[in-house]
Amino acid sequence: MPNINDLLREKNQIVEQLNSMIYGSIELREKDNKQYIYVHFRQDGVLNTKYAGEYSDVLYNLVRNNTVIAKNLKQRLKEINKTLKELNYVQIDGVDEKVAINIDLARRYLVDSIYKQAMLEGVATTYSDTETIVKGGKVSDMTASDINKVINLKRAWEFIMSVDLANYPTNYAVLCQINQIVEDGFSLTAGRIRNVPVTIGGSTYIPPIPFEDQVRQDLSDMLQNEEGIDLAIDLVLFVMKKQLFLDGNKRTAIIFANHYLISHALGLIVVPTEKVSDYKKVLVAYYEDESKKDEIVAFLKDYCWIRI
């Protein structure tokens, strides 16, 4: 299958080459017994005229040769655009091109990402039912609660895939907004740092009660001092181990980290369904022993990171 990134790179190279060339149908204009070359060409459907220079055989032949080359380049552009359309690529305006590619990647993986997150949370759904819900359809073999969890996941992913959010820094406000969406209809304190003790199923680890000012500071320090996939993974682990919210921490953590990845064109993090059991083991091990962090970091990089 053609690589979208390679196609877009080639497309940009062709556009840059065309913009740097003098080509088109030649018109000679005379003034004061001298001839001057003008060229007529179409760009984005608009007829343009450009002054090429005073007539010389070299310039005249250059324009003629360039016109043949430009014709071939434009034909290749048509082929690239056709292939991109077949790959369901949608041009996204208002963001860096690489970020636009990452948003497109997230959109193409949307159903798959939501299904895998739902399975991780024990939501009783199938891939088919998840796809139906994401597309706005109705299902009859799921509880209302599970349906709403899938809908909330869809809304949270759409939130981080929007152009405005792709241009917005990953920070505390984004984190809280994601949890508010994920837990909408399930918790009265959705989007707010918890102030009561919680336990974690399957683990003896009891996370301390977080304080908002400290959470803000810790996040700020991480975002200033780290970068790349390592920062994204640390964001996941920070939210999960701290259990910042009363519920929905795992869903919130993954989507929060994906906001950072998308806005920096670094791919996606999604836990594969076939690795859920292994993931839970290394996660619990990390909860109970900080020295096990390297294991879960390696797991997330090796099995859960989808690169562009």
Residue 82 has pLDDT above 70, yes or no: yes
Q: What is the pLDDT of residues 104-145, one digit of tens each?
A: 899 989 999 999 999 988 899 999 999 999 999 999 889 999
Whether 293 and 241 share a structural domain = yes
Rg (CA), the chain: 27
Co-location of 73 and 110 in the same domain: no
Q: Which domain holds residue 125?
A: 97-306
26 and 169 co-located in one domain: no
Q: What's the confidence (pLDDT) of residue 90?
A: 65
Report the pLDDT value the prediction gives residue 3, as an integer from 0 to 100: 65
As a whole number, mean pLDDT of residues 185-191 equals: 93
- The residue type at 169: P
Assign residue 223 the CATH number of its domain.
1.10.3290.10
Beta bridge partners of 38: 27, 51
Distance separating alpha carbons of residues 74 and 14, to the nearest angstrom: 8
pLDDT for 2 equals: 65
Domain membership flag for residue 186: yes
**Domain co-membership, 107 together with 34:** no
**Would 20 be classed as within a structural domain?**
yes
Same domain, yes or no, for 123 and 36? no
Whether residue 120 is contained in a domain is answered as yes
Task: Tell me, yes or no, whether 255 and 194 share the same domain.
Answer: yes
Quick one: three-class SS letters along 185-200? CCCCCCCCCCCCCCCC
**Rounded mean pLDDT, 164-173:** 89
Q: Domain check: are 178 and 133 in the same one?
A: yes
Mean per-residue pLDDT for 177-199? 94
Is residue 185 in a domain?
A: yes
Same domain? For 267 and 168 the reply is yes
Residue predicted with more confidence, 16 or 151: 151
Residue 7 CA to residue 228 CA, distance in Å, equals: 24
Q: What is the mean pLDDT of the chain?
A: 91
Cα 107-110-113 angle, rounded to 5 deg: 140
Domain check: are 60 and 106 in the same one? no
Does 87 have pLDDT greater than 80?
Answer: no
53 sits in the region (left: phi over 0; alpha: psi -120 to 50; else beta) called left
Contact of 176 with 212, CB cutoff 8 Å: no
Q: Tally the domains of the chain.
A: 2
For 30-80, what is each residue's pLDDT tens digit?
A: 988 999 999 988 776 678 888 889 999 999 999 999 999 999 999 999 998
Domain boundary among 86, 120, 146: 86
On whether residue 122 sits in a domain, the answer given is: yes
CB atoms within 10 A of CB 44: 5
Q: 91 lies in a domain?
A: no
